[in-house]
Amino acid sequence: MKLITVAGPPSSGKTSVILKLIECMGLPKGSVGVVKFDCLTSFDNLRYREADIPIQTGFSGKICPDHYFVSNIDDAVQWGMKSGFQMLITESAGLCNRCSPYINGIFSICVIDNLSGANTPRKIGPLLKLADVVVVTKGDIVSQAEREVFAFNIKQVNALAKVIFINGITGQGSFLLSKHLQQARDIHTLRDMKLRFTTPAAVCSYCTGETRIGDSHQMGMMKKMEFKEL
Amino acid sequence: MIRQDFITLATDLSIEDLLLEYPIAADFLANLRLDSIPKQLSLSQALEEVDEGILQEFGLDRFGVLRSFCEFMETFTPAEVSPHAVSSLTIIGGLNKSGEPEKISLTIFCGEIISIVGPTGSGKSRLLNDIECLAQGDTPTGRRVLVNGAELDDLQRFEMDGKLVAQLSQNMNFVMDLTVREFLEMHAKSRLTINAEQVVEKCFLCANELAGEKFLPDTKITQLSGGQSRALMIADTAYMSNSPIVLIDEIENAGIDRRQAIELLAKREKIIFVSTHDPLLALSADKRMVIKNGGIIKVMDISDTEKQSLQAIEELDNTMQILRNRLRDGAQITLDLLKS
Ligand SMILES: Nc1nc2c(ncn2[C@@H]2O[C@H](COP(=O)(O)OP(=O)(O)OP(=O)(O)O)[C@@H](O)[C@H]2O)c(=O)[nH]1
Ligand SMILES: Nc1ncnc2c1ncn2[C@@H]1O[C@H](COP(=O)(O)OP(=O)(O)O)[C@@H](O)[C@H]1O
Ligand SMILES: [Mg+2]
Ligand SMILES: [Mg+2]
Ligand SMILES: [Zn+2]
Ligand SMILES: [Zn+2]
């Protein structure tokens, strides 16, 4: 089974791109499954179901969705193998910009949209920096020049990435992405494989339920801001 | 330069000198929050003084920074010969929606304008898609698109990196919060344009010529009218974009001099496809493709008779423009206006 990880900021067009991608790969019905990692709620399962695509959704709730991803991804792979998929695609919403769900040797796609501001690519971090392919959506509503500036800013953080423009509504561009996926390799398990990037150290008192504010309530890994005198 | 050579920029040159010679390196430092490292040292020396913790936030160690630096410089050093040089495009027919072959093989050269006509749903956008992804018999139509007479393998298709085709349509807007000048300067920078100042100026003048109503360099791009935006997009595509192919999907009511606009693009040695229902645009092309039921049914040269009627169509179009302007100004429409 091939495993593909897709990640990107909320509402960037991940589901739209995955649906168009699956449509254009033309694999037999039921041979591609999706696992969605989300935080609180998600309506994506309805859209996948409508397209007859087997879907599992998990909610991370209190913890960072990417931490949640790592702790569940191998189980997801086992589910995919048991279901007899040829391909399993994971969709996760990167929220903290600091984490990324990419695994060494596993094909990784970052989806961002043109509307999120020209400098956004320079702020996203590992989510963008470590992706194999960066998909840019919503190019149908901005000018060619803005698309080019956006692609330039992506290259600034991920010089080696392939940048593909996809229209999430019409599917234009998804064909080239499907071609890239042919490089994805077959796997049976992820055991002992490694994340491309450490997830943030986050074991402070607030991680474990503290709500009170002030020095005396802060314990564990803390990073304090430096305020300079004017 | 190859990657090995870039490493000498990080070891042998002070950051000061590096920035003088390669201003874009400032972006590399800013992206990693390294903008305040001591500039009299070389990058590799200066890194010794940087807290590894900060680098780790970016998933890098000192060596990783140097490697990223080389990749960055390699990506942003303009290639001496453009890898995307396209002098011709050949479209070889596939199958229409009923599976019947399109009997066609058409070669189009730089500077040529091809219009694409046909009913809604007939497959005009599909054809533009086939061109954009350089179909090699692997899309639903089975068409093949050759560049400079040759088939491309997947690797070459990927290498194009989305830079082959520039697009323009009625639905596109500007979303950045910049003035016209800032916007053009930013685009010029991203294109690594030499003589950026002159190109920006040229682009600005040209956009104003195409637009019905004039605008200033200090106007915010988001405040431009539909016509002004379209004019700026076309001028920008002509002078700043390096994509050799331009796909135009329906710009009928753009409020700009449409004929002059596509001729400008053609003069810049681009290959232009215009999907349109507009007689003025269709006849301003060199050839037109007629699409029906998903297939190209014929390619027509623009006949002399058609070229002659272009004049009359242009007058009709001007008349419509006058009517539109009068409506806008709150004036009355009279029959006399139609007789000119
Ligand atoms: N105009 C335009 N809209 C798009 C495009 N791609 C996606 N959208 C729209 O953007 C919205 C969000 O798309 P989704 O595919 O749900 O985004 P997502 O990243 O899966 O969102 P979450 O999973 O909720 O984080 C939807 O309304 C899509 O129709 C595009 O290329 N152009
Ligand atoms: N030769 C073909 N074979 C199969 N499907 C086709 C073919 N040409 C067009 N189509 C499909 O027909 C539909 C309508 O085509 P489209 O290009 O959107 O039409 P238009 O832009 O002319 O309105 C699309 O789903 C397209 O993929
Ligand atoms: Mg989604
Ligand atoms: Mg169309
Ligand atoms: Zn996180
Ligand atoms: Zn915490």
Give pLDDT tens digits for B82-96. Answer: 656 889 999 999 999
Same domain, B275 and B326: no
Q: Which ligand is nearest to the CA of A167?
A: 1
Which residues 150-209 on chain B approach chain A with CB closer than 8 angstroms?
154, 157-158, 161-162, 166-169, 171-176, 183, 186-187, 190-191
Query: What pLDDT is stored for residue A96 in this prediction?
Result: 67
Same domain, B225 and B334: no
Tens-place pLDDT, residues B160-203: 766 788 888 888 889 888 999 999 999 998 888 878 899 999 99
Q: Are strands A87-93 and A2-8 parallel, antiparallel or unpaired?
A: parallel
Work out how many domains chain B is built from and give that number.
3
Q: What gap in Å lies between CA B3 and CA B22, rounded to an integer?
A: 15
Tens-place pLDDT, residues B245-282: 999 887 766 667 788 888 888 888 899 999 998 888 89
Same domain, B136 and B275: yes
Q: Give the least confident one: B210-219, B247-256, B306-315.
A: B247-256
Q: Name which of B74, B138, B241 is nearest A148 (Cβ-Cβ).
A: B241
pLDDT classification of B340: cutoffs 50, 70, 90: low
| Cα separations in angstroms, A178 against A20, A39, A63, A124, B128 | 10, 28, 32, 25, 18
pLDDT above 80: residue B159: no
Residues A17/A168, Cβ–Cβ less than 8 Å: yes
Tens-place pLDDT, residues B56-90: 888 888 999 999 999 999 888 876 656 568 899 99
Query: What pLDDT is stored for residue A172 in this prediction?
Result: 86
Residue carrying structure tokens 């294109």: B191
Same domain, B186 and B296: yes
Instruction: Tell how far CA B96 is from the center of its chain.
Output: 29
Which residues 152-171 on chain A approach chain B with CB closer than 8 angstroms?
152-153, 155-157, 159-160, 162-165, 170
Residue B333 region, left (φ>0) first, then alpha (ψ -120 to 50), else beta? beta
Query: What pLDDT is stored for residue A54 in this prediction?
Result: 96
Query: What pLDDT is stored for residue A200 in this prediction?
Result: 66
Q: What average pLDDT does the structure give for chain B? A: 88
Q: What does the pLDDT average to over B307-323?
A: 86
Would you call A114 an interface residue with chain B, using a CB distance cutoff of 8 Å? yes
Residue B303 region, left (φ>0) first, then alpha (ψ -120 to 50), else beta? beta
Please state, as a whole number, how many other Cβ atoms lie within 10 Å of the Cβ of residue B143.
Answer: 24
Q: Where are the domains of chain A?
A: 2-217
What's domain A2-217's architecture? 3-Layer(aba) Sandwich (3.40)
Tens-place pLDDT, residues B4-29: 688 999 999 999 999 999 889 999 99
What does each of the 230 residues of chain A score in pLDDT, given as a tens digit?
999 999 998 899 999 999 999 999 989 999 999 999 887 788 899 999 999 999 999 888 777 777 788 888 999 999 999 999 999 999 988 666 667 888 999 999 999 999 988 888 888 888 899 999 999 999 989 988 999 899 999 999 999 899 999 999 988 889 889 989 988 989 988 888 888 887 766 667 777 777 888 788 887 767 777 777 88
Same domain, B231 and B115: yes
Interface predicted TM-score (ipTM) of this complex, two decimals: 0.80
Residues A107/A5, Cβ–Cβ less than 8 Å: yes
pLDDT above 90: residue B107: yes
Query: What pLDDT is stored for residue A173 in this prediction?
Result: 87
Residues A140/A167, Cβ–Cβ less than 8 Å: yes
Question: Could you tell me how many helices (H) and strands (E) chain A has, helices first?
Answer: 7, 7
Q: Which of B80, B62, B83, B64 is nearest to B72 (CA)?
A: B64
CA A91 – ligand 3 centroid, Å? 7
The enclosing domain of B156 has a CATH number of 3.40.50.300
Q: Which residues of A115-142 are buried (b: 16+ CB within 10 A; e: fewer)?
A: bbebebbbebbbbbbbbbbbbbbbbbbb
Query: What pLDDT is stored for residue B113 in this prediction?
Result: 94
Same domain, B106 and B69: no
The amino acid present at B110, given as its one-letter code, is: C
Alpha helices in chain B (DSSP H): 3-11, 15-21, 25-31, 43-48, 52-57, 62-75, 124-132, 154-159, 180-190, 196-210, 226-239, 258-267, 279-284, 304-329, 335-339
Percent of chain B whose predicted confidence (pLDDT) is above 70: 95
The amino acid present at B50, given as its one-letter code, is: V
pLDDT above 70: residue B3: no
The amino acid present at A161, given as its one-letter code, is: A
Same domain, B147 and B211: yes
Label residue B13 exposed, middle or buried (CB < 10 Å: 0-12, 13-18, 19+): middle
The answer to whether residue B81 is domain-embedded is: no
Q: Which of B41, B75, B109 is the last residue of a domain?
A: B75
The answer to whether residue B82 is domain-embedded is: no
Helix axes B226-239, B180-190, angle to 10 degrees: 30
Same domain, B295 and B162: yes
- Tokens linked to B71: 């990749």
Query: What pLDDT is stored for residue B84 in this prediction?
Result: 65
The answer to whether residue B71 is domain-embedded is: yes
Instruction: For residue B59, give its domain range.
Output: 3-75
Which residues 279-338 on chain B approach chain A with CB closer than 8 angstroms?
none
Query: What pLDDT is stored for residue B4 in this prediction?
Result: 62
Same domain, B57 and B111: no
Contact A179 B154 (CB under 8 A): yes
Question: Which chain A residue is nearest to residue B73, measuring alpha carbons?
Answer: A159
Query: What pLDDT is stored for residue A88 in this prediction?
Result: 97
From B100, B125, B126, the mutation candidate for ligand 2 (largest count of ligand atoms within 8 A of CB) is: B126
Residue A36: CB within 6 Å of ligand 1?
A: no
Would you call B53 an interface residue with chain A, using a CB distance cutoff of 8 Å? no
Same domain, B296 and B315: no
Q: Nearest 5°: phi and psi at A110? A: -110, 130
